[in-house]
Amino acid sequence: MQSPDQRGATEQRRKIPSVDRVLRELGPVVDLPRPTVLNVVRRELARRRDVAGDTNGDVLGGIRQALEDVRRSRIQPLINATGVIIHTNFGRSPLGQAVVQSLAAVASNYNNLEFDLITGQRGGRANYLENTLALLCGAQAATVVNNCAAALVLVLRHFASRAPRTRVVISRGELVQIGGGFRIPEILEASGAELREIGTTNKTTLDDYRHAIDPQRTALILKVHQSNFFMGGFVESPSTDQIAATARQAGVPFVEDLGSGATFDTQEKEPTPADALARGADLVTFSGDKLLGGPQAGIIAGSASHVEALKKEPFFRALRCDKLVLAALQTTVDLLLSDQTDQIPIRAMMQLSVDQLRQRAESITSPLQGLSVTVSIGETHSEIGGGSLPRTTLPSICIDLVSSSGTSLEDLATKLRVGTPPVIGRIAEGRLKLDLRTVFPSQDQLLAERIRGL
Ligand SMILES: *Cc1c(COP(=O)(O)O)cnc(C)c1O
């Protein structure tokens, strides 16, 4: 016998419609694969059954909302109005037209990825790119893997995973976390290296390096750039030149992980790969999609014999880039070598003047009158982002939104975020600020329409 309560619950469950009925009532869902739709419907119905027949509310409406949420979770373009140029959550560095065209041509055709057109034989992968990367870095040689983390793992496994030489000397001031879940000590351990920490958080001397080197056990000296933060005050660490000289005397290789890989002069005097190599680092590693402005990649440049040896590591095969990345990086590096930096979006964004931005703000906002939001032109500061140049800000112009109908700033931000295309701004000084520096001029009209639709 069922208790009245149980009977009630069973009764409620019966009211939950069948999968077939829901599918019929939903009608055709053209923009999602049928198995995806079916999966969402089953999940939503099961969820309602689990809470003892929650037939309250609109079952079909709930399912439509769930489908909408699934659609939104697709990778899709968005309008970055945060003013953070290399936004880690927004895919870091966007690619310019020239790069995208070369990528599309390689992607949609057969290509000479590993084929030598002169001899008609199997050829080396990415020879051209490796040469241009070496030129860009003033290096004897260079190669490329999936990202800078992979570059570091490859370097550590190569130099420091064979006993008894497994020790990696690194300053305590450089045992940093870069981005989500990427901690230098953990990468070291995962690569089979043994951490030999020296100095203190704020102070490491050349003697610390000298004393830590054990000719039998030391595999490598590693210097890691403190990309995403800045330490001021009572801080000291030896220069790249000094560490390089010490490493050379001891016959230990010296690698500098630069992270952001600026190949141009920055206010913060960020070391360029060419700088670090000229000062005596044996190898440098850096990302392709931070200040270089290309696709996600990890570049390793420096001594020809080390680069050759790294490419012979069995592990290299697991970390190598695919043809799409190689094509995009090849064009990016060509543009950098020919000083066509206006074709590299992050570089073009960094160059935009306040006057240019103000003009765009005026043409976007002047037709936007009498809306449910008050639109004005404001001033703000853009950031480089991506853990690069943490002390650099660029004066910028933003479109400021305040609701004239009592909607909260959070609700305005949500409305902009969940629409198509999504627009992401930031709330500050009692406004929702849309920084135009990181909005492509080709998106200005779309942005205006999204504001008009609020
Ligand atoms: C960003 C960064 C990395 C990681 O680079 P990915 O390309 O994201 O793997 C490594 N080291 C430093 C110093 C960095 O700034």
Per residue in 293-315, pLDDT (tens digit) is 999 999 999 999 999 999 999 99
Helix (H) or strand (E) holding 132, with range, is helix 127-136
C-alpha torsion sign, points 357, 362, 367, 373: positive
Task: Give me the pLDDT at residue 133, please.
Answer: 98
Query: Which atom, in ligand 1's list, is nearest to the CA of 258?
Result: 13
Residue 2 above 70 pLDDT?
Answer: no
* Cβ-Cβ contacts under 8 Å for 155 (sequence gap 6 or more): 220, 255, 283, 285, 300, 310
User: How far is 64 from 229, CA to CA, in rounded Å?
Assistant: 44
2-11, 357-366, 396-405: range with lowest mean pLDDT: 2-11
Task: Give me the pLDDT at residue 340, please.
Answer: 97
User: How far is 435 from 380, CA to CA, in rounded Å?
Assistant: 7
With bands split at pLDDT 50, 70 and 90, how would you rate the model's confidence at 48?
confident
Best mutation site among 86, 178, 227, 229 for ligand 1 pocket (most ligand atoms within 8 Å of CB): 178
Tens-digit pLDDT profile for residues 246-259: 999 999 999 999 99
Across the range 95-121, mean pLDDT stands at 97
Tokens representing 249?
């005397």
Average pLDDT score, the chain? 93
Tokens representing 364?
């976007």
With bands split at pLDDT 50, 70 and 90, how would you rate the model's confidence at 3?
low
Q: Is 259 in the pocket of ligand 1 (CB under 6 A)?
A: yes
Report residue 192: phi and psi, to 5°: 85, 10
Q: Which residues pair with 147 in a beta bridge?
A: none
Contact yes or no for 195/224 (Cβ under 8 A): no
Q: How much of the chain, in percent, has pLDDT values that exceed 70? A: 94
Total residue length of the chain = 454
Contact yes or no for 223/129 (Cβ under 8 A): no
Q: Is 298 in the pocket of ligand 1 (CB under 6 A)?
A: yes
Q: Is 130 in the pocket of ligand 1 (CB under 6 A)?
A: no
Tens-digit pLDDT profile for residues 260-273: 989 998 888 889 99
Across the range 207-229, mean pLDDT stands at 92
With bands split at pLDDT 50, 70 and 90, how would you rate the model's confidence at 171?
very high
> Between residues 231 and 419, which one has the greater pLDDT?
419
User: How far is 444 from 381, CA to CA, in rounded Å?
Assistant: 19
Enter the DSSP assignment of 215.
Answer: T
Tens-digit pLDDT profile for residues 384-428: 998 888 888 999 999 999 998 899 999 999 999 999 999 999 999
The segment with the largest mean pLDDT, out of 46-50, 129-133, 160-164, is 129-133
For the chain, the farthest-separated pair of C-alpha atoms sits apart, in whole angstroms, at 88
Residue 288 above 80 pLDDT?
Answer: yes
- Taking phi over 0 as left and psi of -120 to 50 as alpha, with beta for the rest, 199 belongs to left
Contact yes or no for 144/288 (Cβ under 8 A): yes
User: How far is 287 from 304, CA to CA, in rounded Å?
Assistant: 20
Task: Give me the pLDDT at residue 15, please.
Answer: 74
C-alpha torsion sign, points 362, 366, 367, 371: positive
User: How far is 145 from 124, CA to CA, in rounded Å?
Assistant: 15
Q: Closest residue (by CA) to atom 2 of ligand 1?
A: 259
* Cβ-Cβ contacts under 8 Å for 398 (sequence gap 6 or more): 81, 83, 361, 377, 378, 379, 380, 425, 433, 434, 435, 436
With bands split at pLDDT 50, 70 and 90, how would you rate the model's confidence at 359?
very high
Task: Give me the pLDDT at residue 123, please.
Answer: 94
